[in-house]
């Protein structure tokens, strides 16, 4: 790899300085001894964008008859084209398909959570590993050992009568979280009901996915527990439509449509209470490559520009255990021609992306 030079405003530090990418793919702020090619000047530089809720095997732009591995790679390419250089896949119907992705092939850094874990009949048929409550802890430990870091529980879903129900009792969730943490992993939960969110908080889960009922009434408990919310706002707009397609009773659809309508207010309330809110598109329910739209939805919900942008960049990367633009870190950098804090529309137009020291596009 050749050495590269960029100059611009680095976020989140908000300072203008020179950034060099060494031939070994690392970031340096001292380029005196480098013969570096300048690829960006006067840009706004952010650590690579991150989508912390993205299902690569689902809604792939690959051909209909593609293998799971081909589908995952096509989705990953779409994410990288949008400047997404890190992905967390919190559950998948094809959990091993994303394990071989590598940055050397131009795919985002990908962190998986194995297969979804649900109760019998507690999720989309065929998608999840279904277990009784007494076997939940064993199942999530298996998934975290498969994935290397994360497990994902489907905390509530539609009952046979079309109404939401909790999949697991509180004690089973507590045992699951304890087992995952003992194995050195982290655990996420798909949750819509307030009761599920509270049980997950009490159990020690690391992240709440969707969290449609999250709001002021539960914000203090979320903040005190240090749990992260990934509201997947773009995808949640489709929940009423999805429920209609599943034949859910009209009154229940109308009730949840009101919950969806209130979600932006709830997201603002939990963020104002000090809860970390991160950007995840739930690609799979929506097309891949829409992280810019998700960040803009967080802005419209009431997060300030730094918080909304950080939710899809440096804060998301920190959550995933990845560095930002710092000395000696692998060079994952996205450059924008204009400041996205002032003009969020530019998020859909990344000018340059460097992944692990290699230029993906723009230079």
Question: What count of Cα atoms within 13 Å lies in the side-chain half-sphere of residue 331?
Answer: 27
Residues 6 or more apart whose CB falls under 8 angstroms from that of 208 comprise 188, 189, 191, 197, 200, 201, 214, 222, 227, 228, 229, 230
Mean pLDDT on 211-228: 97
Quickly list H helices, the chain. 68-81, 136-147, 170-182, 194-203, 216-225, 233-236, 239-245, 250-272, 291-301, 305-311, 314-319
Average pLDDT, the chain: 96
pLDDT, position 363:
82
pLDDT, position 33:
84
| CA dist., res. 187 & res. 141, Å (int) | 10
Sheet holding 27-28: strands in order across?
27-28, 15-21, 4-10, 37-47, 333-336, 352-355, 358-361
pTM greater than the 0.85 cutoff: yes
Mean pLDDT on 232-250: 94
DSSP 92-104: BSSTTTTTT--GG
Mean pLDDT on 242-248: 90
Mean pLDDT on 212-220: 96
| CA dist., res. 160 & res. 167, Å (int) | 12
Sign of the torsion formed by the C-alpha atoms of 241, 243, 245 and 251: negative
Share of the chain above pLDDT 70, in %: 100
* 3-34 per-position pLDDT tens digit: 999 999 999 999 999 999 999 999 999 998 89
* 255-264 per-position pLDDT tens digit: 999 999 999 9
pLDDT, position 28:
97
Give bridge partners of residue 361 from the DSSP assignment: 353
Please tell me what DSSP assigns to residue 26. Answer: B
pLDDT, position 32:
85
Give residue 330's pLDDT band: very low, low, confident or very high (50, 70, 90): very high
Give bridge partners of residue 37 from the DSSP assignment: 4
pLDDT, position 102:
87
pLDDT, position 246:
87
Residues 6 or more apart whose CB falls under 8 angstroms from that of 62 comprise 70, 71, 73, 74, 75
The full 3-state SS of 32-73, as one line of letters, equals: CCCCCEEEEEEEEEEECEEECCECCCCCCCCCCCCCHHHHHH
Question: What count of Cα atoms within 13 Å lies in the side-chain half-sphere of residue 149?
Answer: 11
Give residue 54's pLDDT band: very low, low, confident or very high (50, 70, 90): very high
Mean pLDDT on 58-78: 96
pLDDT, position 163:
85
Mean pLDDT on 56-81: 96
Residues 6 or more apart whose CB falls under 8 angstroms from that of 99 comprise 112, 147
Mean pLDDT on 164-186: 97
pLDDT, position 95:
81
| CA dist., res. 18 & res. 36, Å (int) | 11
Mean pLDDT on 193-219: 97
* 273-313 per-position pLDDT tens digit: 999 999 999 999 999 999 999 999 999 999 999 999 999 99
Residue 245 has pLDDT above 80, yes or no: yes
Burial class (CB in 10 A: 0-12, 13-18, 19+), 182: exposed
- Three-class DSSP category at 194: helix
pLDDT, position 327:
97
Residue 148 has pLDDT above 80, yes or no: no
| CA dist., res. 231 & res. 259, Å (int) | 13
pLDDT, position 162:
81
* 88-137 per-position pLDDT tens digit: 999 999 988 998 888 999 999 999 999 999 999 999 999 999 999 999 99
Domains and their CATH numbers in the chain: 4-46+324-361 (2.30.40.10), 49-319 (3.20.20.140)
- Three-class DSSP category at 187: strand
- Three-class DSSP category at 8: strand
């Amino acid at each position: 790899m050749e050495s590269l030079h960029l100059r611009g405003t680095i976020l989140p530090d908000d300072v203008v300085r020179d950034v060099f990418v060494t031939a070994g793919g690392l970031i340096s702020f001292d380029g005196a001894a480098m013969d570096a090619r300048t690829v960006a000047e006067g840009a706004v530089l952010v650590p690579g964008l991150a989508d912390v809720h993205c299902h690569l095997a689902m809604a792939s732009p690959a051909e209909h008859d593609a293998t799971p591995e081909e589908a995952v790679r096509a989705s990953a390419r779409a994410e990288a084209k949008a400047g997404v250089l890190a992905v967390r896949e919190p559950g998948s119907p094809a959990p091993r398909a994303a394990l071989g992705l590598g940055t050397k092939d131009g795919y985002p850094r990908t962190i998986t959570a194995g297969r979804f874990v649900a109760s019998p009949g507690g999720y989309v048929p065929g998608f999840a590993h279904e277990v009784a409550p007494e076997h939940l802890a064993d199942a999530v430990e298996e998934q975290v050992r498969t994935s290397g870091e994360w497990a994902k529980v489907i905390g509530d879903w539609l009952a046979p009568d079309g109404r939401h129900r909790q999949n697991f009792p509180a004690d089973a969730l507590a045992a699951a979280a304890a087992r995952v943490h003992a194995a050195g992993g982290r655990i996420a939960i798909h949750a819509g009901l307030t009761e599920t969110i509270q049980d997950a908080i009490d159990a020690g889960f690391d992240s709440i996915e969707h969290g449609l009922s999250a709001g002021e009434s539960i914000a203090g408990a979320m903040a005190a527990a240090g749990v992260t919310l990934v509201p997947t706002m773009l995808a949640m707009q489709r929940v009423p439509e999805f429920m209609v397609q599943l034949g859910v009773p009209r009154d229940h659809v109308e009730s949840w449509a009101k919950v969806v309508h209130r979600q932006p207010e709830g997201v603002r309330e939990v963020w104002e209470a000090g809860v970390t809110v991160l950007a995840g598109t739930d690609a799979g329910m929506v097309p891949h490559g829409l992280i810019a739209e998700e960040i803009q939805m967080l802005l419209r919900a009431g997060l300030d520009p730094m918080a909304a942008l950080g939710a899809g960049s440096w804060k998301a990367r920190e959550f995933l255990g990845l560095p930002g633009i710092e000395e000696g870190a692998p060079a994952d950098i996205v450059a924008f021609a204009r400041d996205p804090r002032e003009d969020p529309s530019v998020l859909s137009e990344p000018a340059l992306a460097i992944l692990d020291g290699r230029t993906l596009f723009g230079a």
